[in-house]
Amino acid sequence: MATIDSYDFKGKRAIIRVDFNVPLNEKGEVTDDTRIRAAIPTIKKVLDEGGSVILMSHLGRPKKGPEDKFSLRHIIPTVEKRLGVKVDFADDCMGADAASKAAALKPGQVLLLENLRFYAEEEGKPRGLAEDATDEEKAAAKKAVKASQKEFTKKLASYADCYINDAFGTAHRAHASTALIAEYFPNDKMFGYLMEGELKAIDKVLQNPAKPFTAILGGSKVSTKISVIENLMKRVDNLILGGGMTYTFKAALGGKVGQSICEPDQFDTALNILKQAKELGVNLVLAEDAVAADAFSNDANTQVCPSDNIPDGWEGLDVGPKAIDAFDKVIGESKTILWNGPVGVFEMDTFAKGSRAIADSVVAATAKGAYSLIGGGDTVACINKFGLADKVSYVSTGGGALLEYMEGIELPGVAAIRK
């Protein structure tokens, strides 16, 4: 398999799938350029080695072709600033202009293609189907877009001599630019530095963790985390479950959870997870107490109560002090820590204490030599809110991709490069 460090880019055109899906304000300015900065080392490497670069990405979720608010044109000044190189633009990724500009690239030059998702072929999903479309019409539309997706992918591939995937955030999608294009570069495809770093960090935790290994899973619902819980259960020594899911477990065990988030259809699953933990000898830690509120609001009245005895009309929105102490003890003894999902509604300061305490415990364990990996959109926002991102071992840029990788699913974007 080719690698970015061993490949000879001299005189070559590299098409790089980056994740430039950055937030823009109403004026079209980039409000957080983390993802752009994350892609710079890979782009620089190709340019420094005498190659040229074609950048491709999606931005947002356009559903009906080109729309100015989803145009990648808006991000050019930020990319130029971060890269220190002028960036040319092709305003239609399939246009004659894109092909001629790509063909004319000289070493050291960079071309950015317009948003790939202006074409349904990027995702390979039909668009514009009538709401009352029959199953046959849906199947025919799907077949048509799949057929034209081949041409779309082939054309993108024709712009370059080699392909680099550096978009971990979309690696769980089998789209034209994230997976299908790789087949046109059997010996000239590789991961970029960001992808390499992500895979190394997650593999270190999943394949070869120093023990004790503790996973902390939070978030709102059990239903979205079951597969992750089940896969991690086989690997960890301690499993801390926090956030809204706590109450499904407590209610399944016969507790009273008031108005807290609760999924009765997941009671059997929750009981089964508890049983599995026992069988596997995993120390499963649930929050013993909760900060309950009389409204879903930062200004609500609050009280600390047992997480299985929450009064009617009140909802558990954060973990309580006893839970914080219990979590801290387990995290403090860990050598490997994986954290996905806040344990309270951290967006409101009143309910951010539990997540802050977890962050502090993880930072302290990391300072003592533990390896800590944090990931998932909300968790990253959470660690950034506390200004502690540089005090843990690795912060993953992946949301859905990270979760699927943790579930043990082979990501299409990863498989396409490795096979």
For the question of residue 221 being annotated catalytic, the response is: yes
Least distance CB 225 / ligand AMP (angstroms): 7
Task: Write out the DSSP string of 175-193.
Answer: -TTTTGGGGG-TTSEEE-H
User: Does 378 contact ligand AMP by CB under 6 A?
Assistant: yes
Tokens of 34: 């983390």
* Tokens standing for residue 80: 């130029």
Task: Tell me whether residue 35 is one of the annotated catalytic residues.
Answer: yes
User: CA 159 → CA 80, 116, 262, distances in Å?
Assistant: 21, 14, 51
Of the pair 41, 321, the CB lying nearest ligand AMP is at 321
3-state secondary structure of 395: strand
Task: Decide: is 157 part of the binding site for ligand AMP (CB under 6 A).
Answer: no
Q: For ligand AMP, what does the binding mask look like between residues 122 and 151, x meaning CB under 6 A?
A: ------------------------------
Residue choice 51, 62, 316, 398 for contact with ligand AMP (CB under 6 A): 316
The residue within the footprint of ligand AMP, chosen from 124, 169, 197, 244 (CB under 6 A), is 244
* Choice from 93, 228, 261, 374 touching ligand AMP (CB under 6 A): 261
Rounded CA-CA distance 66/118 in Å is: 5
Question: Residue 224 or residue 297: which is nearer to ligand AMP going by CB?
Answer: 224
For tokens 């930072």, name the residue: 363
Residues in the chain: 419
Q: Is 243 in the site for ligand AMP (CB under 6 A)?
A: yes
Site size for ligand AMP (CB under 6 A) = 17
385 binds ligand AMP (CB under 6 A): no
Question: Is 219 among the residues known to form the active site?
Answer: no
The alpha carbon of residue 254 and the mean position of all alpha carbons in its chain are separated, in whole angstroms, by 35
> Which of 124, 126, 169, 341 is the binder for ligand AMP (CB under 6 A)?
341
Q: Which among 60, 52, 89 has a CA at the least distance from the CA of 164?
A: 52
- Is 78 or 379 the residue whose CB approaches ligand AMP more closely? 379
Q: Does 375 participate in binding ligand AMP (rule CB under 6 A)?
A: no
Residue 345 binds to ligand AMP (criterion: CB under 6 A) = yes
Integer Cα distance of 159 and 174 in angstroms:
20
Stretch that binds ligand AMP, among 91-99, 336-344, 363-371, 385-393 (CB under 6 A): 336-344
Q: In the bound complex, what is the minimum distance in angstroms from residue 221's beta carbon to ligand AMP?
A: 6
Instruction: Output phi, psi for 404, to 5 deg.
Output: -65, -40
**Cβ of residue 220: shortest distance to ligand AMP, in angstroms?**
4
**For 218-275, where are the E strands, in sequence order?**
238-241, 256-257
Going by C-alpha positions, the residue among 80, 116, 76, 112 that lies closest to residue 97 is 112
Which of 44, 125, 221, 391 is catalytic? The answer is: 221
Q: What is the largest CA-CA distance in the chain?
A: 70
Question: Which of 12, 13, 17, 35 is an active site residue?
Answer: 35
Asked whether the beta carbons of 284 and 241 are under 8 A apart, the reply is yes
Q: Check: CB of residue 252 under 8 Å from CB of residue 298.
A: no
CB nearer ligand AMP, residue 119 or residue 351: 351
Question: To the nearest whole angstrom, how small is the minimum distance from the Cβ of residue 7 to ligand AMP?
Answer: 37
CB of 91 to ligand AMP, least distance (A): 35
Query: Which residue, chain included where needed, has tokens 């954290």?
Result: 339
Residue among 78 and 307 whose Cβ is closer to ligand AMP:
307
DSSP-assigned states of every residue in 139-203: HHHHHHHHHHHHHHHHHHHHT-SEEEE--GGGTTS--TTTTGGGGG-TTSEEE-HHHHHHHHHHH
Q: Which residue has the tokens 């892609």?
A: 39
- Cβ proximity to ligand AMP: between 62 and 341 the closer is 341
Q: How many CB atoms lie within 10 A of CB 411?
A: 25
Rounded CA separation 362/349 (Å): 20
Minimum CB separation of residue 187 from ligand AMP in Å reads 40
Residues making contact with ligand AMP (CB under 6 A): 218-221, 224, 243-244, 261, 316-317, 341-342, 344-345, 347, 376, 378
User: Which residues are tagged catalytic?
Assistant: 35, 221, 377, 400
